[in-house]
Chain A
Amino acid sequence: MRTATVAVPRASMIDDDVVLTVTGLNVDLRTPKGVLRAVNDVSFEALSGRTLALLGESGCGKSMTAKALAGLLDPVADVTGGTVVLGGTDLAALTAKERLAYAGPELGIVFQDALTALNPVYTVGTQLGEAFRIHEGLSAKAAKVKAIELMGRVGIPEPESRVDSFPHQFSGGMRQRILIAMAVALNPRLLIADEPTTALDVTVQAQIMKLLRDLRTDSHMAVVLITHDLALVAEEADTVAVMYAGNVVETGPVKEVFGAPHHPYTRGLLDSVPADVGRGQDLTSIAGSPPELHRIPDGCVYQSRCPLVQDICRAVRPALEPDGAQRAVACHFSEELAHV
């Protein structure tokens, strides 16, 4: 079994190792309206000790991508193409059992809503200890000791007395810490955080993001942060992949992409943020709303809202092409946008 080797902290690991490589990932949904493509040809890499942000609005496929990586897709959703290589192993090639044994310890996921993600009828200690019982074969007693240790590690005060409490007895921020503790219990190489702070107040968000940063630094995890919050991406992520209607439309280092966006959608998003615009002045908004999945047009996915749209955009979908050393963009007119 592979599990015997993965639980030790990877002290030897260094930053900037490729931990996760996603290539050409497709996810299809079987719906009454037919088979819909929710995630289309999505590719990205996540590096150890770094944060990659998947950024997009609701329905863009970012959470579906995360669920596909974690093997948690709904029964109506199928991965129909692409490879997901985590630490050198293609997850798609594993059976369900092998996947559990391998990816369980290697990949942790934190969900948005901690109250629904936790089981209300088990104590947090039981839920935190589960990973150790299953993957390390520890006894319930030994697992509880580990659970207390973990609770301390994620900053829950008085873990010894809190370990036997139930999820509803914790505040929102503390529940999110418990969820994070579960995700990092076995020192995963990859942590997926799906809108981890969206349900939290801003001062608590700051605490949780600091915890994630500290954990990432300590254990050299790769973090995939899924969010719709541009400012959070600007502060927390090293690289960003901007998603729209199931496709990655632009990707690269956050500083470069946000500093000078080369896709009109990225530009539109940045302009929509009420930041530096004077009070009372109009924001530059993006006209219309994203297409529904069964109405995604041929050609460019962004054509219906794009100010630069031309005939070629309606006919040919632009591929995600390299754009400089570290960036890639899917737009026929990215050159023009780059020089505006």
Chain B
Amino acid sequence: MSDTTPPVPLLEVRELTKNFHVPGRGNNVLCALDKITLQVGRGETLGLVGESGCGKSTLARTLLMLERPDGGSIRFDGTDPFALTGKDLLAWRRRVQMVFQDPFASLNARMTAGEIISEPWSTHTTLYPSKKAREGRLRELLQIVGLRPSDAGKSPQEFSGGQRQRIGIARALALDPDVIVLDEPVSALDLSVQAQVLNLLNDLQHRLGVAYIFISHDLSVVRHVADRVAVMYLGRIIETGTTEQVFDRPRHPYTAALMSASPRLDVSDTTPRNRIVLEGEMPSPLDPPSGCRFRTRCWKAQDICATDAPPATGSTDNPEHIAECHFPLLPIPVTDLFARRS
């Protein structure tokens, strides 16, 4: 790929907004997504990071057209999926699939693994039209995700958590999608099994060129799988960049706090860690703070943060490394950051 012509992104999201109306007292509009802008390239993994209630699952659902946005646009391979109808819409849905968090709740216990994986073909009938083609593809899919062809006849409860997640991945792959949205795909799994599934996802991406939108609260997992990372806070993407940029030189104070708060395994590092321990919790999305949404917990907040929403600005050396902050952190290695704070 040449450097001069930037590749057309597979998925382009601009200023996507989604409000929910909550019945009851006071301000009843919950702004779950507030002008989200992001891109995902072919075969790329975008890591979506944030705490519960930040809007990452709503974003995933909107990208899958399970929610209708209140503003902004989605372009998938150049077309707006929300303008599609009938056959075109069906064809689009095939290209975007999802893997769910809970491998116990997301598989129908009354169906066999084979039925679960093949079910999408009864909606998308033209993809593998003949019985023979479907049987062959089912065997192939089971093999790709590391299960045996004989497993097709078993029901989900006969499998372990890791194996169930493999079934969920096979089901998502059944329609040969271009993008898979993975919503916390390994957080219900034990560590040793988690590594197996992460390896599988990595291997599949290499072989099939599928793009992932990988939602996780586990920063070490995201760091391992993502090419680029978007950090969300109260419905906004407050920082985005390559994985190295965001993890090693965070610019937004919230990102830095998030990195600092997640425990580290390295026991050989004996320098005491001065952590940024944020005060309080994420404010209610029904009543977000004025100006910068993070200001109520930010140690760098000034008057301007309460009055003006910070613009999204690129870093001086990396314009692609964008943060929404009036006082972005200097591009210093994150280890120094820990050492300076108390």
| A residues neighboring B (CB under 8 Å) | 57-58, 171, 173-174, 201-207, 209-210, 228-232, 234-236, 254-255, 258-259, 268-275, 277, 279-280, 282-287, 289-290, 305
Contact = CB atoms under 8 A, between A and B. Distances in A.
B162 A289 contact: yes
A277 B192 CA distance: 15
Contacts, number: 124
A280 B202 contact: yes
Contacts of A273: 191, 195, 220, 265
Given A279-B227, A283-B195, A289-B192, 10 more contacts: A201-B51, A202-B262, A203-B281, A206-B260, A207-B278, A234-B265, A272-B192, A273-B220, A274-B221, A289-B163
A279 B219 contact: no
A114 B281 CA distance: 16
B162 A284 contact: no
A206 B256 CA distance: 13
Contacts of B226: 279
Interface residues of B, number: 45
Nearest to B261: A206
Nearest to A232: B263
Nearest to A259: B267
A203 B192 contact: no
A255 B265 contact: no
Contacts of A259: 267-268
Among A235, A274, A275, max chain B CB count under 10 A is at A274
A284 B227 CA distance: 20
Contacts of B195: 271-274, 283-286
B198 interface: yes
A235 B194 contact: no
Nearest to B259: A202
A282 B220 contact: no
Interface string B197-212: 0110011000000000
A236 to B, nearest CB: 8
A206 B265 CA distance: 15
B223 A279 contact: yes
19 contacts: A57-B191, A58-B190, A201-B52, A203-B257, A203-B258, A203-B281, A206-B277, A206-B278, A207-B279, A209-B263, A228-B190, A231-B265, A255-B267, A269-B191, A272-B191, A274-B198, A283-B224, A285-B195, A289-B163
Given A173-B281, A232-B263, A285 B192 contact: yes
B264 interface: yes
Interface of B: 51-52, 160-163, 190-196, 198-199, 202-203, 217, 219-221, 223-227, 243, 257-258, 260-268, 273, 275, 277-279, 281-282
A203 B265 contact: no
Nearest to A285: B195
A203 B278 contact: yes
Contacts of B266: 234, 275
B265 A285 contact: no
Contact of B190 (A57, A210, A283): A57
Nearest to B162: A289
A294 B198 CA distance: 29
Given A272-B195, A274-B220, A235 B190 contact: no
Contacts of B199: 282-283, 285
Contact of A285 (B196, B275, B282): B196
B224 A274 contact: yes
A287 B199 CA distance: 12
Given A201-B217, A255-B267, A273-B265, A279 B243 contact: yes
A66 to B, nearest CB: 18
Closest 7 CB pairs of A and B: A274-B224, A285-B195, A286-B192, A231-B263, A201-B51, A206-B261, A272-B195
Contact of A234 (B264, B281, B282): B264
A201 B191 CA distance: 18
B281 A204 contact: yes
